[in-house]
Structure 1
Amino acid sequence: DKYDKESKQSMYSSGITEENLEKIVFTYKEAAAFRMEWCEENPGEIEYSAYGNPAVATDWEKSKAALNSTANLLAKDFERKKAAFEYSRATTSKTGKLDPLKLHAYKTSEDIFLTTTQLAQAKSHGIILFLDLSGSMCEIIEDVTAQAITIAMFCRQVNIPFEAYSFTSTSYWRQEGKGIRDIECKASEMNVEGCKIVEMFSSKMNKKTFDEAAYTSFAIAKAHSYSNRMKYHLSSAYLHAVDGMGSTPLIQTAMLAYKITKKFTNKHAIQNTNIMFLTDGYPDGIHVVEDSKTDVKTSREIMINFEGKMVRGQGGREIYKNVLHRLKELTGATIMGFHLAYDASTFGSGYVNVNEDKDFPDVIKAWRKMGFSAWKNCVGYDDYFIIKINRSARF
């Protein structure tokens, strides 16, 4: 027998089908319908839910003003620099390229733009943001959601197209009969059962819908938060399955990002798309559906077909890194990663495979002092940041 059954080869996956990619993404309209359905079915629990608690609505009105104020300052600075650039057309100038670190930090300094040389013309921008809604985000979900809302408000004011999504998974017992679509995966396909990427808000929304969507994201974050500062009670138990926390399907989300980015870029004629991933963890492992008719021993390495090219890796981190490289090839977008940390342990989780030559205590010390660490062309991202999140910072 020329084929040695004892030899091991890489496990092959045909990837995720178009049909299943469609099934794991939920539009804002679809999610809103699920929430309304939940309220109709659970009238006695609405007061404990993010969907109908009157105290959280009052809280939002106060917080909304503060977030809008920050977005206004960012927008004014952006327009001022844009006008200066269009007037000067200098050889060395402000590029008009958004500095995501400054968006994170709510800065309105001169460095809202990155300085570069030999600039020919300003480019049109677009932002696609994916926010981790896994269970470990409970400690920081309020702060991170506030930043996502502020970025969206800023983009609306300066007419930058944007789309924001949450991503996580749903446990099997919660998804049954709750609108989370059943997914059938055939042999060699990646199993994406339970994955959900839910639209939070986007630039295509009118003002009324955007305000509603921003409030909903605010309220859901409150329900998931571990904060003991709230003067009212919300519970994540009183949420529809579409808004529940789960694990961290980063690989699946990055593969879906190609489909979303392609549609987004074509619709808005974007020259410079920025894809942002905000997460506090590392990617889930992936499961490939086995073919019961074969008898092949496979190694730990997995080969995944991602839009006609094989992406290889052993373990979630390596596969995710190579999926990001392929996403870059397919879209030409700037891929940005924001690892969200609040102590040495959570920093270390994001620092794996970043820079092993540096002395870790020195790196931690600098991060604590500056509030962030940044690298270029790192772990699959064009720009990678480990951001210090203050757990006590609330809306």
Structure 2
Amino acid sequence: MSVNLEVKGTLARLLATEDLLVEHKNVSTASFNVQSRVLTLPRWEKASNNVFNLLIAHEVAHALFTPNEDWRKKTKVPQGFVNVTEDVRIEVLMKKKYVGLPKTFFRGYHELHDQDFFGIADEDVAAMNIADRVNLHFKIGNFIKVPFTSSEMVVVDQCAAAVTFDDALAAAEALYALHEQQKEEQKQTGDEDASSSPEGTEEPQGKDGGEGEEPEEGPSDSEGESSEGGSPQEEDGESDEQGESMESRDDEIGGGDTAGNLTDNVSTMENFNENLEDMATTNTYNQPLYLTYPSFSAAKYIASNKEIHEYINSSFERQREFFYNTNPENADYFIKTLFGGYDKNFNEFKRNIQSEVNYMVKEFECRKSASAYSRSSTSRTGVLDCTKLHTYKYNEDIFKKVTTLPEGKNHGLVFVLDWSGSMCHILEDTIKQLLSIVMFCDKVNIPFEVYAFTNEWNRDNANYYTNSDIPNELVVGDEFSMMNILTSTVNRKELLRQMETIFMIASSYTTRGGNIVPSRVGLSGTPLNEALITLRKILPDFQQRNNVEKAHVMVLTDGEASWTRYTTEIESYDGQTKISVGRLGHQNGYLRNRVTGTVRKIDKEKLCGVTSTILEDLRFEFPQTTFTGFRILEKRGGWFVRQAVGYDDAQIAKWKKEKTIALTNAGYNKYYIVDSDTVQESAEFDVDEGATKAKIKSAFSKSLKSKKNNKKVLSDFISLIA
């Protein structure tokens, strides 16, 4: 039977009434780390739902009630006896804590008894030692009859009454003392039998009451009752009628020759554990890996807006000084040619983008008004409307009305920009799209922050090892940074200057003729997953600082994330255990969030598996935030679209026609895939003088198509935030 391990993990946390860390691993036995509060459960894939629930309830009971102490300093009782009395104690306490659990224990132990988990099918229960019988009595006593003498019942009652762990130890000591007493009695009986039988003389067999007789073990009847002394054990009612007392059977239970040789082993507990190990999956290949988020401060990875632009401006100034120092005669020409060209292009871009920005503003205001109207309420005021008094004969509604418009939520945008080397050919066009949205936000007073994720800003801090002493944590390297390249916290004049600076840097990658990019803001790898992890710190701060109720995150990238790293325990050459860094590849991974208490399987078969899992977790942790992705697809990237849409012919045909498609299966609320050629297409109607009618028609159609595609994406974007 297939069991949902995630649901069982949630059950364990609910039973424990705390946010336990539950890990299902390929181990033979369950364990609980009291310090880290990690409950490790075997993957009992052969267990039924009833048995799984029983085992979880039992292990959670240990987590709740068994203290973390070395009890061997208090008593010399064998561990098997302590295990028996402690199991009795915690299960009794668990059943009292949750009134529905007795039925769970009943069903689970019933199935385990039917499968002979305790290994008693061919055994005489009455001949077992006292610890085995106590273990059976409290676990499967509903299904078999376990006999006890009156002196044994005193210890049984003591086990049942144990409340604290010290009570369980005291019960274990009493249990072991009784066991030792029965062993001694058995030894004495054996010595007496040996001395009363002359050597070489055959002992009489098969006669009732004969001296030295060894009673046969009769088979158990259908009621689960064992046989003693060669005759079937009578039912309780018949025993009462005959007046048989518990004392009259003292010599027949748990001692004498009937029981054989008593040992200190609790065989029923050993059999149960062995069968439980057989039920668990212990194959260490592809062992489940439970990962958690690292603990860090946002300031460690965020390069402030002021710091970024001060560095860029000083770098530009040094470049100008270089021209004056090396070639003073032509310095003005070179500076004007290099920087002046970018200034001209940016001013032209601002003029051309105004129509697009105005369209977004108009669309935003329309949708906002429609949304407000749909939530408005109209009510009468009780004051006469003088303009309607003349209609009093045929109109009852002659009172003034008031329309109440509820206040809308405050919105804010956080942009996450891919600053990787593969973006160089389309970075300028991507920045143009970004700046148009930034200008829109500035015009309608929506707070925003733009972060570019990179490994270059702090490249000197690169460390491919780890200083962490916690295993199984996702790693955000010291070289990683979120560069805050644009922000709404500066005034409009400063914002335009910063926009021009970013435009210049992006354009320099396209022109190639004069790369003016300062080294620390150069393009790098694609630490997308690290950027998403840092959003867990950035978003709460952004919402609090700007009084934002609903935030929107827009991620602009052209590819998948780089390898995700995590800390792992390894054994070094000297036998010492240390923390190292591994890559998250094809492992059977799970992502655990201590804030929300969720555990998510990292589905490697899913589109961008690790990234999708982190995004789904972010959406759950920040339910008032929408996450929108823009994947700018490189040339010959049709394979990605086919894979993303699950080879759906209709979706593929739509992509080929529109070169834009929106998905909802990649972790984002919406994931737009846009062809890079579409991003680079100009929406301006521009033809050469003297162009033929065919060229004019072609240019006009191309302009309309580009505008149509842009407006479709922009309309979808506006619908998210209006």
Which bracket does the TM-score occupy, shorter chain normalised?
0.7 to 0.9
Structure 1 residue aligned with 2:588, among 301, 314, 318? Answer: 301
Counterpart in 2 of 1:108?
Answer: none
- Which structure carries more relative contact order (alpha carbon 8 Å, separation 6+)? 1
CA contact (8 A) 1:175 1:241 kept: no
Q: For 1:249, which of 521, 527, 548 is the aligned residue?
A: 527
Alpha-carbon distance change, 183 to 157 in structure 1, aligned in 2, over 3 angstroms = farther
Tell me the matched-pair count. Answer: 350
CA contact (8 A) 1:14 1:190 kept: yes
Shift of residue 206, structure 1, vs aligned partner: 0.8
Determine whether 1:158 maps to 2:438. Answer: no
Could you tell me which amino acid in structure 2 is paired with residue 186 of structure 1? Answer: S
Letter in 1 for 2:534: L
State the TM-score, normalizing by the size of structure 2.
Answer: 0.43
Q: Which runs of 5+ in 2 are unaligned?
A: 1-26, 30-281, 325-330, 378-404, 571-575, 684-722
The whole-number CA distance in structure 2 between the counterparts of 1:17 and 1:350 is 36
User: Which amino acid in 1 is paired with 2:660?
Assistant: F
Matched position secondary structure for 1:290: strand
Residue number among 440, 447, 454 corresponding to 1:168 in the alignment: 454
Per-residue deviation, residues 5-62 of structure 1 (Å, max 9, x unmatched): 966533454433314x432221211111222343455542798899x72221222122
* Alignment partner of 1:358 out of 640, 648, 662: 648
d(CA) in 2 for partners of 1:144, 1:45: 31
Residue among 348, 356, 364 paired with 1:62: 348
Contact kept in structure 1, 2:559 and 2:633, CA below 8 Å = no
Residue 633 of structure 2 is aligned to residue 341 of structure 1: yes
Q: In structure 2, how many angstroms separate the alpha carbons of the residues matched to 1:200 and 1:181?
A: 25
Give, in whole Å, the separation in 2 of the partners of 1:185 and 1:306.
22
Q: Match of 1:288, SS? A: strand
Aligned to 2:475: 191
Contact 1:281 1:350 in 2 (8 A): no
Q: Decide whether the 8 Å contact of 1:15 with 1:306 is kept in 2.
A: yes
Counterpart pick for 1:328 among 603, 606, 619: 619
Superposition deviation, residue 90 in structure 1:
7.1
> What's 2:656 paired with?
368
Q: CA deviation at 1:143?
A: 1.3
Query: Which residue type is aligned with residue 242 of structure 1?
Result: R
Structure 2 letter corresponding to 1:294: T
- Counterpart contact for 1:168–1:246, Cα < 8 Å: yes
Contact 2:312 2:518 in 1 (8 A): yes
Q: For the residues of structure 2 that align with 1:247 and 1:271, how far apart are their CA atoms?
A: 33
Amino acid at match of 1:340: I
Tell me if 1:130 matches 2:416.
Answer: yes
Partner of 1:98: none
Q: Is the 8 A contact 2:412 2:550 kept in 1?
A: yes
**Whole-angstrom CA distance in 2 between matches of 1:329 and 1:84:** 28
> 2: CA distance between counterparts of 1:357 and 1:348?
10
Q: 1:347 to 1:29 in 2, by over 3 A?
A: farther
**Amino acid corresponding to residue 144 of structure 1 in structure 2:** T
Shift of 1:321: 0.8
Assess, with a 3 A threshold, how the Cα gap between structure 1 residues 273 and 22 changes in structure 2: closer, same or farther: same
Give a deviation string over 1:231-271, Cα, whole Å, max 9, x none.
xx321xx4233321111111111111121111122233333
Determine the structure 2 residue equivalent to 1:16: 294
The amino acid across from 2:439 in the alignment is: M
1:1-395 matches, within 5 Å, as 9-19=287-297, 21-39=298-316, 41-42=318-319, 43-44=321-322, 53-83=339-369, 85-87=371-373, 89=375, 122-170=408-456, 175-176=459-460, 185-187=467-469, 188=471, 189-193=473-477, 194-225=479-510, 233-235=513-515, 238-292=516-570, 293-294=576-577, 300-308=587-595, 309-313=598-602, 317-332=608-623, 333-343=625-635, 345-349=636-640, 352=643, 354-359=644-649, 362-376=650-664, 378-390=665-677, 392-393=680-681
Task: Give the deviation of 1:358 after TM superposition.
Answer: 0.7
Secondary structure of residue in 2 paired with 1:270: coil
Q: Are the structure 2 counterparts of residues 77 and 357 from structure 1 closer, same or farther at C-alpha, using a change threshold of 3 Å?
A: closer
Do 2:417 and 2:450's aligned partners in 1 also have CA atoms closer than 8 Å?
yes
Structure 2 SS opposite 1:384: strand
Secondary structure, counterpart of 1:289 in structure 2: strand
Structure number with the higher helix fraction is 2
How far off is 1:289 after superposition? 3.3
Distance 1:306 1:40, change over 3 A: farther
State how far apart, in whole Å, the 2-side matches of 1:279 and 1:55 are. Answer: 27
Could you say what secondary structure the match of 2:552 adopts? strand
Q: In structure 2, what residue type is equivalent to 1:216?
A: T
- 8 Å Cα contact 1:191/1:287 also seen in 2: yes
Q: Give the TM-score normalised by the residue count of structure 1.
A: 0.75
Offset of residue 162 of structure 1: 1.5
- Cα 1:383–1:8 change in 2 (3 A) is closer
